[in-house]
Structure 1
């Protein structure tokens, strides 16, 4: 098991960001947002056959059990409204049912709260409940994801700027954090290679 370690060199991260460098885009649900600049530095989580190179996240095995993950874990936020934006591209996928973006509870009741995942073929879905959110996650397609977490009220998801109502989930007060990368769900397996870039955050 490889434990979380500090973020890789700035040059390695920039290489990944350039790969998915987005045009200028405003936050969703505009009004009253304060940009978080710079974006907080994440810690890296590599477990099982998970491997991170800059902003490229891979599961190199087809193992359908155990903890297989390659993820960025961003710092905790508490009782605020937080918006996340990022762009992912599935570069290759020999497996299926891989979580790409997560919102986790921290502290009391810690654990996965919201998970956006992709199946082989491009179907995006919510892990909790299995609801289909779209079919934009095909190999080679760049997908913009925004999540708006109004802590204590609800968590909302936007795909390519459009709100996916089926992804709205209620929220309790407390502490949470964002994660992105490639994570084997309980019913999934690799291999998979995903690039993330263009990460932005706002708060109000």
Structure 2
């Protein structure tokens, strides 16, 4: 009887910890409610998507080369994205990893250079270093559609803030050749979650 009770107790603790784990990863004050927006897979040029593995297989420095997920548009509330990326191969450089799109096009684009520098495509400011091949990096973006504030966190630290207008926005992630970049590159994403309040 005691062994059966211990097994049940261990199972309950495991379930509670598993359920609580993702909530601890949320940045900024809640309460947050998790949700699962729909998405479309975008594969253009030499871009291929296999689950959460995104590849650019060519070194072409022109044209639309992308392998991404494009999530459903939102236009109200405060939205949070979280995901972990790990570059497994990157002979190329200046590849966009995470984007927030607005009604007028790209609102925020996070990209990486060969060597591991993470930067904001518009403006070029460095957000972090160390995003080298094989290293897992956590990305959170928080977007308040009410006042337009958008913040980007790298490994839990706020590294970029900007403001914008109103309208419909959406999240994208994967691997996308920026206008000054080129592949090849392979990026694996994991732990992707969305919250709102």
Q: Distance in 2 between matches of 1:42 and 1:136?
A: 29
Q: Distance in 2 between matches of 1:102 and 1:153?
A: 15
Aligned to 1:88: 85
Q: Distance in 2 between matches of 1:163 and 1:141?
A: 19
Tell me which of 111, 118, 140 is aligned to 1:124.
118
Tell me which of 136, 140, 150 is aligned to 1:155.
150
Instruction: Please identify which structure carries the higher helix content.
Output: 2
- 1:174 equivalenced with 2:174 (yes/no): no
The superposition leaves residues 168-188 of structure 1 with CA deviations (integer Å, 9 ceiling, x where unpaired) of: 011211110000000000000
Match runs of 1:70-109 below 5 Å: 70-106=67-103, 109=104
Tell me which of 138, 152, 162 is aligned to 1:144.
138
Q: Distance in 2 between matches of 1:59 and 1:26?
A: 29
The superposition leaves residues 145-181 of structure 1 with CA deviations (integer Å, 9 ceiling, x where unpaired) of: 00000113310010011111xx201121111000000
Tell me which of 95, 105, 114 is aligned to 2:108.
114
TM-score, normalization: structure 2?
Answer: 0.86
Aligned to 1:8: none
**Larger Rg belongs to:** 2
1:197, distance to aligned residue in structure 2 (A): 1.0
Aligned to 2:188: 195
Question: How many pairs were matched up?
Answer: 175
Structure 2 gap ranges (5+):
1-20
Structure 1 gap ranges (5+):
1-22
Q: Distance in 1 between matches of 2:97 and 2:30?
A: 27
Q: Distance in 2 between matches of 1:144 and 1:72?
A: 17
Aligned to 1:29: 28
